[in-house]
Structure 1
Amino acid sequence: MKPPPFGYHAPRTVGEALDALARGADDPDGGGTKVLAGGQSLIPMLNMRLAAPAALVDINGVTELDGLEATAEGVRVGALARHSRVERSAPAARVQPLLRRALRHVAHPVIRNRGTVVGSLVHADPAAELPAVLALLGGTVELASAAGRRTVRARDFFRGPLEPALEPGELAVAAFFPARPPGTGVAFAEFARRHGDYALAGVAALAAVDGRGEVASVRAAFLGVAGVPLVLDLTGPATTGRVAAAVRDRLDPEADLHASADYRRHLAGVLAERAVTEATTEAREDR
């Protein structure tokens, strides 16, 4: 299969990229533009004619977007930082270990070598790992346009399946993942039919304990069970040992050709119990 015809822009600065995106936003024919970074989702969509932009804005030459910074506050990932780079970053793993643990489940190494963290967030696939991680941690996405910059919280960024809060002419320039505080633990678990496939269900968990090692709070974000990453407070169920049952009671996934709704609901409960146990254990060891 071949993609439909499209124009091509190769900016060297953020300003040039924003100018190209602004022209696309004003396109009277409504074709618009798409940003090309890793291209691991965009190129297949073009080839299958699921996307037909008037032009692509290739930001791979915009070196100022190739940033990765880990501080005491969290990890800031630039729009060109590849999955593999973030996964292998020791500073990023120390500040927020959930990033590395989730990234190990993203497709295959060859995909992670090219795909980008920010690109995965902008694609907003509800079965993807990184949107769930950003939602659980309360992270943000930084957006730029010719009119200026704005920061969008994760809970507002994912509007629906493949629908990020990205307006015409905007470029996602970075994402921020808050650090893991002392006395907390994180975990990630998912199940796929084959290694590297999208998960039938998955969960990222964040647990905190008090000075006595008792559970203070537990939250979990689910992927593959709703149209957007679904974050649940599981503090009560975690203290009573009823995590799986509570998750099954609160999820309403849809069936598809890969799994029934009941199977997905059951699977999410099992994975949540596993992840919450692991995160709570880590939190107790860290206090």
Structure 2
Amino acid sequence: MIPAQFDYERPDSLAAACQVLAADDDAKVLAGGQSLLPLLRLRLAYPSTLVDIGRLPDLKGVHDRGDHVFIGAMATHDEVLRSGVVREGCPLVALAASHVADPAIRHRGTFGGSLAHADPAGDMPAVALALEAVFVARSAQGEREIAAADFFVDYLESSLRQGEILVGVKIPKLGADWGFHYEKFHRTAQAWAIVGVAVAVRRSNGSIAEARIGLTNMAPTPLRARATEAALEGVELGDQVRQACQEAAADSSPPADLHAQPDYRRHLARVLTHRAVRAAAGSP
């Protein structure tokens, strides 16, 4: 289909982009375009103006900032995947980036764009939850930080306010006693996850001291599997882990669509969480 008519702006600075957005309540930000352009073609989005931020240097790059890694919103998935800073400081992000669609999309799609799009079937939102990331947003009124737990509001809806641009994301560095894994069940490389599980596990004396689990496509927003996280605390690897992972789908509300029904997604969440926890904890 053909998109509805819109104006196009390509500001030369972040401040100018914020001013354009502040002046037009119906404007939308264009980053890599891999999520927005299909919505425009289907006329599921009707922006009056597209504000192209693709050439703003303030939004690019990956930076080691001591206790965290700062990933610019315009860093592509391929840049994130290949970054030594990311692989060393937050390996779960690099691992999940390798599961995003295919190489062509990873070279165009942006890390910040996939998060701001707030699709619960996307790979990165669940990872951001599991790692307790912090989102940095900028507007004409200034800058603010948003915890990942507060960022995803509803289906395709984030807590970004009108006029705000996601500048980047702070990913806390976790210590050497943490292990990570990402499991994804999908039909083809280009397809969204039917279910995905992002896991970070802290090990101590042969048992699980702490677990963080983010679920993809199990509700209108990405979810933390809190019941399983609590059940895993202090558990030694073995049958107790499998039992704890049976709670992975608790408090979820998975969608029904052409690819899977809710009960199948709940089953997948339990199975994939068990696999991911075992892998993150270093169990064969």
TM range (shorter): over 0.9
> Which stretch of the first structure deviates more once superposed, 99-108 or 231-240?
231-240
Between the aligned partners of 1:236 and 1:78, the Cα distance in structure 2 is 33
What is the identity, as a one-letter code, of the residue corresponding to 1:72?
G
Normalized against structure 1, the TM-score is what?
Answer: 0.92
Matched, 1:184 2:185: no
Between the aligned partners of 2:251 and 2:39, the Cα distance in structure 1 is 33
Deviations 1:182-240 (A, max 9, x none): 21111100100122211110100111122x22211112110011111110233454322
One of 191, 201, 208 as aligned partner of 1:207: 201
1:281 match: 282
* 33 and 236 in structure 1: CA distance in 2 versus 1, 3 angstrom threshold: closer
Cα shift at 1:254: 2.9
2:263 match: 262
Between the aligned partners of 1:49 and 1:248, the Cα distance in structure 2 is 34
- Checking the alignment, whether the CA contact within 8 Å between 2:193 and 2:217 is kept in structure 1 is yes
One of 220, 223, 231 as aligned partner of 1:227: 220
Between the aligned partners of 1:77 and 1:218, the Cα distance in structure 2 is 24
2:10 match: 10
- Checking the alignment, whether the CA contact within 8 Å between 1:135 and 1:231 is kept in structure 2 is yes
2:138 match: 144
- 5+ long unaligned stretches in structure 2: none
> Which stretch of the first structure deviates more once superposed, 240-249 or 153-162?
240-249
One of 46, 65, 77 as aligned partner of 1:83: 77
Q: Pairwise mapping of residues 1-287 of structure 1 onto structure 2 (< 5 A)?
A: 1-25=1-25, 32-210=26-204, 212-233=205-226, 234-238=228-232, 239=235, 240-241=240-241, 242-281=243-282
Cα shift at 1:253: 1.9
Cα shift at 1:250: 4.7
What is the identity, as a one-letter code, of the residue corresponding to 1:221?
G
What is the identity, as a one-letter code, of the residue corresponding to 2:32?
G
Cα shift at 1:131: 0.6
Task: State the secondary structure of the residue aligned to 1:60.
Answer: coil
- Checking the alignment, whether the CA contact within 8 Å between 2:62 and 2:70 is kept in structure 1 is yes
Between the aligned partners of 1:69 and 1:248, the Cα distance in structure 2 is 35
Between the aligned partners of 1:262 and 1:13, the Cα distance in structure 2 is 48
- Checking the alignment, whether the CA contact within 8 Å between 2:131 and 2:212 is kept in structure 1 is no
- Runs of 4+ off more than 6 Å: none
Between the aligned partners of 1:175 and 1:278, the Cα distance in structure 2 is 26
Percent of aligned positions with the same letter in both sequences? 39
What is the identity, as a one-letter code, of the residue corresponding to 1:225?
M
How many equivalent pairs are there? Answer: 276
- Checking the alignment, whether the CA contact within 8 Å between 1:138 and 1:178 is kept in structure 2 is yes
Between the aligned partners of 1:67 and 1:249, the Cα distance in structure 2 is 38
- Checking the alignment, whether the CA contact within 8 Å between 1:88 and 1:100 is kept in structure 2 is yes
Between the aligned partners of 2:123 and 2:200, the Cα distance in structure 1 is 15
What is the identity, as a one-letter code, of the residue corresponding to 2:147?
R
Cα shift at 1:251: 3.6
- Checking the alignment, whether the CA contact within 8 Å between 1:243 and 1:272 is kept in structure 2 is no
